[in-house]
A and B are shown apart, each in its own frame.
Chain A
Amino acid sequence: EVQLVESGGGLVQPGGSLRLSCAVSGFTFSRYWMSWVRQAPGKGPECVANIKEDGSQTYYVDSVKGRFTISRDNAKNSLYLQMNSLRAEDTALYYCGRSGLGVWGQGTTVTVSS
Chain B
Amino acid sequence: DVVMTQSPLSLPVTVGQPASISCRSSQGLVHSDGNTYFNWLQQRPGQSPRRLIYKVSNRDSGVPDRFSGSGSGTDFTLKISRVEAEDVGVYYCMQGTDWPHTFGQGTKLEIK
Contact = CB atoms under 8 A, between A and B. Distances in A.
Interface string A70-114: 000000000000000000000000010000111011110000000
A107 B104 contact: no
Question: 6 closest A-B pairs (Cβ-Cβ)?
Answer: A47-B101, A104-B48, A61-B100, A59-B99, A102-B51, A44-B106
Interface residues of B, number: 21
Interface of A: 35, 39, 44-47, 50, 59, 61-62, 95, 100-102, 104-107
A59 B39 CA distance: 20
B37 A101 contact: no
Interface of B: 37, 39, 41, 48-51, 54, 60, 90, 92, 94, 96, 99-106
A94 B105 CA distance: 18
A104 B49 CA distance: 7
B51 A95 contact: no
